[in-house]
Structures are given as C-alpha cells and as structure tokens.
Structure 1
Amino acid sequence: MRILHILNHVREIGNGIVNVAVDLACLQAKNNHDVAVVSAGGEYEKLLLKYGVRHFELDQTRTPINLINAAGRYRGIIREFQPDIVHAHMMTGVVFGRCLKANSNYALVATVHNEFQRSAVLMGLADRVIAVSNAVAKSMARRGIPEQKLRVISNGTLGSVRTRNIQEYLPVELEKPAIATVAGMYQRKGIGELIAAFAQIAPNFPQAHLYLVGDGPDRAIFEEKAQATGFSDVCNGLHQRIHFVGFQPEPQRYLLAADIFVLASHRDPSPLVVPEAREAGCAIIATNVDGIPEALDNGQAGILVPVKDSSALADALAKLLSQPHLLQHWQEQAQQNLDWLSVERVNQETLAVYSELKMGWDSGVVKHLEVNINTNQ
C-alpha cells in the first residue's frame, strides 16, 4: 500500500500530532508499505529517512500566494508518489487532500486530534475520520460528522520509534517529593491551576517541589503567577520550589524521577504523556475531561479531579503526599494494563481503517455511501 501522510511540519518540539504521525509513518514503512510524508520539514526527517520514509517538502503557511504555490506543489507530489491513501493529521492537509484531489484515485483519511478547535469540523471532508478517543468521536458526531465515517483509534505511544526503552533512560536528580507535569505552556493545559494547588499545599509539605516541563507562549504568565503567590516567606521561598525546566527532548528522565505526575488540562482529547507517565510509574492526578479518563482506564490507573478546580487538585496532592501507602498504591496502579497503550496497536488499527476504506473505494462502495450521505443531508 502506498501511504502519504500530510503534516504542517516534522519538528521535534513535543507536538503530539507530529509524534503520532511520525510513529505511524515509520512503523508502516517497517511493515513494508511504501510511505511518504509531506511537510515543511524538521528534525524528524532523519528518523523518517532511517526507516525508508520519503519526505516531500511542502510549506502550507496560510497566505494567499503561498497556498497557490503549495497547491501546485501538492499536485506534483501526488502525480509522483501516486498514493493509495492520503492521511491528513491537520486541517490544511485535509482541505488540500479533498479539494486538490482532481482525478487521483486515493482515499482520504483524517485524524482528529484537537476536536475542540472550531476548524476541526473540516476533518469531516475525509472519507474516514479517525478520532483519538471515544470522547472525540462523540463530539465530532454531535458536530455533524456522519457516524459511518467515524472510527475510534485511541492514542498510544509506548514502544515508539522516537524513544528508547524506558529502562535505558537515566532519571534526573530532583528534590523529593517531586511533583511534575509535562505539557505545553498554554492556559488550556491547566498550569495555572497546578501552580495554585501547589501554593495551597506547600506550607504543609516544605520538602515538596514542583517541576514544570515544557515551553510555550503562556510561559511568562505562569512564571509571573509563581512569583506572585505570596508564600515565599512562609514556606522557605515557594518561588524556589517551582521549577520551569523548559522543553526537554527526553521527558522520560523527569517522569522516572517524579513521585507524582499531574495533568490539569481544561481540554485534552487523548494526551500521549499519560501513557508515558504510567509506564514511568508515577502516581497520576489528572482532570476528568475529554479523553483523559479513557487513557487512565476510567480512573483505575490514576486519580481524576474536576477541571479548573485547584482546591480539588490540592486535596488530591495532599492525600498522596501525606500517605506513603496511598502514593505507592497509585504508582503501582499506573503500571497495570499497559499493553493497549502501545504504538503498534495504534498502527495495526490504522492499517485496518486503510484496508477497509481502500477495499470499499476500489469496489465503489465508498462512493455510493457518499452519495447516500449527501442525499440525506
């Protein structure tokens, strides 16, 4: 099968969408499929080349002149590669894949990662729409995507070609007990609530430290919030116990060293960091939103708290920090039932969608289905 993945870029900056697509492309090539990636380029080009994945450069920056040039370039790539499947992972890619199809005989697949974005509805232009969690699938169905098009393939990242075996990472030295998060510095990741929760429990746990792993446009806001907590005189310099360590290419080193991992997201369709934190053996506290409960086996592998509730988050942290047996219990629970979180499972389920779609496309079934859908709308 000839598979073409479309991404905005393949930069190694902790972007979950890019990470999922790179994993798929490499594993599919390893399984003897002819695979290529279209993007503006980035550090992962070397990894793609290692697995025999071709890379076509395409700048999809949304300016009129650039999009015109990109359209011509995309048509040339399609003529050269002649894919059976075009798999778009971002909005611009699925628009290109549908609107510039012309006489090409490929089937179009789109994976919805960030369904909370208004533009996510455009992913419905594809012949099949893969949702990264059941929560995302339900949301897309409510937004008008025909259920016949929807398939759920929950994210999994364990065994990724981008990383080493977890035992091969050397943990960093952290002050104990260590609380950590790995997330982009965005308001929607709940970093503000995590800082507020830490401020609430810090006076009672003077040895605890908070490590914020990641970078992003809102980092300065969170740094200011940490400095303005007003607790520095009470608890030996609170601002010195909140560490902004920036983006780390090997976050596993922090996860292995942390006692507690927190993900306080306001929205999060299916975060890749949850399987990684589970594999590392952290006790996990996370918000009960979107695909997070599914990634935590519906609360069996981690503690779920309400969204935007720093007090509830503080209570959960205090219980774990004050009860060593409870902390150990949740560390052990996190490491149960990890097999389903593998990237190989994601790849096999994705290939099954391709095969289903390509068989239907070749026989005319999918075209007939599209006619029926359009007629019923």
Structure 2
Amino acid sequence: MSSNPRIFHLITRLIGGGAVNGLIPIATELDGYNVTVGYGSEVDHQYVELLQKEGADTKQFNLIRHYNPITAAPAVLSVANFIRQNDFDIVHTHSTEAGIIGRAAARLAGTSNVVHTIHGVPFSEDRNNLLNWFVERSEVAAAPWTDAIISIADIISEEYLSRGIGRPEQYQTIRYGIDLDKFSSGYPASDLPDSEVQVLMVSRLARGKGFEVLLDATEELAVDGVSILIAGDGPLSDELSSEIEARGLEETVHLLGYRDDIPAVMAACDMLVLPSFREGTPFVIIEAMAAGLPVVATDIAGIPEQVDPETNGILIEPGNTNALSDAIARLATSPELRERFGMASRKRAQQFSMTRMQDDYASVYADLLDSNR
C-alpha cells in the first residue's frame, strides 16, 4: 500500500469547460499523491478515460446535479460515506454545487484538510434573483468548513468577501495555467470559411455565453469582409443553427462544431470574442492571448485580470450589443491595432503557465498536510 497522501477531487460536471481544464492538470500531473476524482450526473466519458489512463481513480455520484436542491441532501450523505470509507487526507472541491455538497460531506466525515476552488462567479444578472440568493447563502454556510479557498482571480475573491463568504485569511489566488507553447506555435487551419477578417468565439453552446448578443451585434456590424466563427458544441447547437438561419446570417456566422484543433483555428483567426454573462477567468482567453489574438470580452469576474483595455483588448458590459459591434468593427478595420493588441496578448499570457499553476497547488497541499501532522 502506497504511503502517498490521498486526495479526493469532487466536481459537479465532468464536461468541457474551465473547471475541468483547471482540474485535470492538478489531478494527473502532481507527483506524490494518490488521486480520486468524483463527479456528478453530467459527464463526458473522454475525461473519465483520460483520468484513468493517467492513474487517477474515478467515482460518479448521480445525485450531484446542476442546481438541483432536491437531490443535494442525499448527495451529501452519499459523498460523506465515500470519504469516510476511503479516509482521504485532502478533500478538494471544484465548482458551486460540488463545492457545497463536498464540503458539507467532508465535515460530516471529519476530514481535516478541505480545499475549495472557485472557478467562476455563480451570481449573475441573467439568473433568477432567488437562485442567486440561495447560492450566496449556501456559500456563506460552507465557507467555515473550508481550510483554503482558492480563487482564480483577485477580483473574484473580493466579490466573495464582499458578500460575507469566508474570511480574508482563507483566500489565495491561483490563476489558471496552460501549455503556452501549444498555442503560440499553432499552424493555421485551412478548412475555415474564407474572409478578410475572421472573428472567433470558442465556447460550449449553452445559456449565459451571450450568443444572442453576438448575433445582434453581427446584424448591426457595418463592415464588409468579416466572418463570425463559433467553435464548440452543446445543448444550444440546434437552436443556434435555426436562429442563424432565421436571421439570414448563414453567409456571415458559421458554426464549426466541436474542434480538437483549437490552436490551429486560433492561428487562422484575427480576434477572439467572448460576450458571456458569467465566467471565471476563461481558459479560452488565455489560449487566445498565447496565440497572439486581441480579445473582446465582457467586463466580468476575472476577465479584467486577463484583458487590459486598450492594451491587449476591449472590455464591454454584458449584453451591450452596440459596444460589441463597435469593438469588432474597430479591430476589423485596423490591422495595426490588431497587431499591437496581439503582441501585448502574447506578453500577458506568460503569467498563465501550467507549471506555475501546478506548483502553486502543490504548495497549498503541502502546507495543509504539514499543519496537521
């Protein structure tokens, strides 16, 4: 039997997105730990296979569901029983629902070391006020059960503290990290629609990402020779395709579907747009910066710590169609501005290396284990 410390990661949905992209490198590439990854009812099995291939154990908890308070209480009992049976040294929760359920379960099981990572701000204008209130109160309740609260941006920590969630000494910022070289040296994809300026959005096709804002902005765009490319898949795929057709935008807006060659897609494009209503610090912005793209995104959560206005991109308010259209037009008509912002993006991306992120998490784990010896 290995004497390595045992870490249990718990995430709500094991599907594509920032939380999973942040979890995988620390669950599979930190030496000296035995790792188990638990996940809820929504799962993309490619991630299960990847985790198992890299030596991590996996466990599904079907009662952990996206914003489903009815199954939350029995989920806590199920997870607590699993933690108790396996005697984990550290419980590390990720995302809102798993964070609340997992920390309550760890408390029931008597786990000494509990870490929670905030991958994004769940309180947003496009969500029901009652839901926002319920999530906030749940986060307030779970904070005392947490030894270390990891935020992916300083501004997210500040927002949580302003809502009475936890104490300042519990918080530490660990920004996301990626393999920068993978995106800085991409060879341009050759199968994209041809146009003078390629505007790229990479996202899961789901609510809250601002697709309707992008379509509205496209209709207002008074610049010729611009294509809008949307890479990704998800539950809105058919609806979005129908909406593009209904608006008569088929010649301008192109759904690329799921792509496993995003570095090549980015290398062929001229800018990234992300008009989301809720985010953390999106991986796709880090990837775009590493690829040397200017970025147009909403001024929310940790995005201002990625995009410096008038340095490497343009920030707009969520839902502001005119501002998005104007920003796209401004960059589309100025190759010089795109080049200047793109060079600044490459420089800024250096703050977001994967090695730095892994080292930071290793330090958190080591400090917790040392303090409880």
2:117–2:151 Cα contact (<8 Å) kept: yes
Residue identity opposite 1:43 in structure 2: Q
1:181 counterpart residue number: 201
2:129 counterpart residue number: none
Structure 1 position 51 matched with structure 2 position 54: yes
Distance in 1, matches of 2:94 and 2:156, equals 14
Counterparts of 1:1-377 in structure 2 under 5 Å?
Answer: 1-11=5-15, 14-28=16-30, 31-39=31-39, 42-62=45-65, 68=74, 71-72=77-78, 74-80=80-86, 82-90=87-95, 91-102=97-108, 104-117=110-123, 118=132, 119=135, 121-122=138-139, 123-124=142-143, 125-145=145-165, 146-158=167-179, 167=185, 171-174=189-192, 175-176=194-195, 177-201=197-221, 203-205=222-224, 207-229=225-247, 232=248, 238-297=249-308, 300-362=311-373
2:93–2:117 Cα contact (<8 Å) kept: yes
Moved more, 128-137 or 344-353: 344-353
1:372 counterpart residue number: none
Q: Deviations for 1:57-108, whole angstroms, at most 9, x for unmatched residues? A: 433345878964873465245433x322110113235423433544544311
Residue identity opposite 1:131 in structure 2: S
Whichever of the two has the greater Rg, that structure is 1
Distance in 2, matches of 1:93 and 1:181, equals 29
Q: What's the secondary structure of 1:189's corresponding residue?
A: coil
Distance in 2, matches of 1:39 and 1:267, equals 22
CA RMSD in angstroms comes to 2.8
2:39–2:64 Cα contact (<8 Å) kept: no
2:63–2:75 Cα contact (<8 Å) kept: no
Unaligned stretches of 5+ residues in structure 1:
233-237, 363-377
Question: What percentage of aligned pairs have identical amino acids?
Answer: 24
Q: What's the secondary structure of 1:188's corresponding residue?
A: coil
Distance in 2, matches of 1:9 and 1:306, equals 28
Distance in 2, matches of 1:136 and 1:4, equals 24
The structure-2 alpha-carbon separation of the partners of 1:195 and 1:140, relative to structure 1 and needing over 3 Å to count, comes to same
The structure-2 alpha-carbon separation of the partners of 1:324 and 1:86, relative to structure 1 and needing over 3 Å to count, comes to same
Residue identity opposite 1:5 in structure 2: H
Distance in 1, matches of 2:325 and 2:216, equals 8
Q: Deviations for 1:254-313, whole angstroms, at most 9, x for unmatched residues? A: 212111111112222211110111112222212222211101246532222233222122
Distance in 2, matches of 1:102 and 1:95, equals 11
Residue identity opposite 1:15 in structure 2: G
- TM-score, normalised on structure 1? 0.81
- TM-score, normalised on structure 2? 0.82
2:64–2:71 Cα contact (<8 Å) kept: no
